[in-house]
Structure 1
């Protein structure tokens, strides 16, 4: 009988792969719930984290070296992200299907921790950034209830003030909210975040096909 794994990363990976199909080139400069990050910056981060967490599952060398990884950047986003990122996500999910991935310790982003915690962090990154991408591009989002239950327990055990560089402070929320908003709030996100609306420009200032008529003498 196959060993039961602590978490299945397939559901958040499938969700993200579906969301990528809905990203238009015009979306790349759009803001996301991650302060200061555009969609392109978020996609660059997803590529980096997919590689790093897959390598962590394999107990390989930390791709980022001994220090923290470089900051995500829209300028560094691969021009081939549409074909490459789905493959990296699939490789990530596959790597964490191995029971050995969850044993001992794992290292990613310059941090070493118990492998079980590292796998949970990977799942959290996939779910949270999946939601970020969905909100930024106007797409629907649904998370696997079993994954959310694990994430809520994991995030609730963290410091309410957040973890710099990883999680923001807990956002106050009604305790009777559904699992997804609760998980988002524990991860430091505002579940009600929406992209800022472009201010309407008065139509008189948009088009001036004819110069103003000359005043009569």
Structure 2
């Protein structure tokens, strides 16, 4: 029964749990660490924070059945305000957007994906990139168990298409008894043992 409850938990609740952990990671990043490399080879810490911020903002629009626009670039660090506070505020808005009535119903986005699948996409980005940033900066990170339970089948289902689109890398081998989150990381092309 508990496992079934986890699978049907609202995306907004899962985002709240994952978002709190992501905010804690960003709060711990020092400005002197922004140039460090991350498990996402195309991003250093600064670029990955900017990317994650853009994801958090654009998926608010998707929750409201509006189109997202990833064409522009974001510079969270040049805005003259505290980037950590701005990120935390946008995560709160993301949670609220996905908690709105009807957010998980129907389809959303230009490709017409089921809304819940789109919600799982942003949940994946928030969870995985928080791990990326924590690993890059030496901060502790443990994802919420209910989040991992929801993400594991979702990531496995979208992995082939995500690899074809260049979003996920080739899967990484992990032991058969690897923790569930290690399997999720490996499915997306991340090495759970990655160190800077």
**TM-score bin, normalised by smaller chain:** 0.7 to 0.9
* 91, 96, 109: which one aligns with 1:94: 96
Contact 2:23 2:84 in 1 (8 A): no
Give the Å deviation of 1:99: 4.1
TM-score by length of 1: 0.78
Partner SS state of residue 42, structure 1:
helix
Aligned to 2:105: 103
4+ aligned runs moved over 3 Å, structure 1: none
TM-score by length of 2: 0.85
Q: 1:30 to 1:155 in 2, by over 3 A?
A: same
Give the Å deviation of 1:20: 1.3
Aligned to 2:185: 184
Give the Å deviation of 1:106: 1.3
RMSD (Å) for aligned C-alpha atoms: 2.0
CA distances 1:66-93 after superposition (whole Å, capped 9, x unpaired): xx534x67xx343332221111111111
Which consecutive residues of structure 1, in runs of 5 or more, have no partner in the other structure? Answer: 196-217
- Size of the aligned set, in residue pairs, is 183
Partner SS state of residue 162, structure 1:
helix
Which consecutive residues of structure 2, in runs of 5 or more, have no partner in the other structure? Answer: 1-7
- Partners of 1:173 and 1:99 in 2: CA distance: 40
Give the Å deviation of 1:162: 2.0
Aligned to 1:49: 55
Partner SS state of residue 17, structure 1:
helix
Higher helix fraction: Structure 1 or Structure 2? Answer: 2
